[in-house]
Amino acid sequence: FVNGKFCKDPKLANADDFFFQGLGPGNTSNPLGSKVTPVAVNEILGLNTLGISLARIDFAPKGLNPPHTHPRGTEILVVLEGTLYVGFVSSNQDNNRLFTKVLNKGDVFVFPIGLIHFQLNVGYGEAVAIAGLSSQNPGV
């Protein structure tokens, strides 16, 4: 039992323990116009103790991934398609400054651990991003 998950006997492990199928487009037909598809330890058991995870984020035009935090992980975001306005709020010790940037295809932005952050599609078409996280279970 490690990090809140049971460890599987390594002799019983197989390729499916390290595999996730279905990181295709998410359904953005909802009030926010976005869909986050996480791939963390709950989706891939083999991530247990590895300290990493990821998520695919799909955006309809003007779609929003609303302000949120990851209390157990830093996030690095890469834009695969579209144009996103992203940002985070620094800590109280830094007077809660807002850091924002408009990202285009191929751009990368980092959200430090535990800070409130968001992504908004400001382009005219759909947008897609991949977020890497420094935790097997970063929380939301």
Binding residues for oxalate: 65, 70, 75
Binding residues for Mn(2+): 68, 70, 75, 117
Helix, strand, or coil here: 131? strand
What is the C-alpha to C-alpha distance for residues 57 and 80, in angstroms, rounded to an integer? 10
Annotated binding site: 65, 68, 70, 75, 117
Which segments of the chain are extended strands (E)?
A: 34-39, 53-59, 64-68, 75-81, 84-89, 98-103, 108-111, 117-121, 127-133
The distance of Cα 51 from the centroid of its chain, to the nearest Å, equals 14
Contacts of 121 (CB under 8 A, 6+ apart): 33, 34, 59, 60, 61, 62, 63, 64, 82, 83, 84, 127
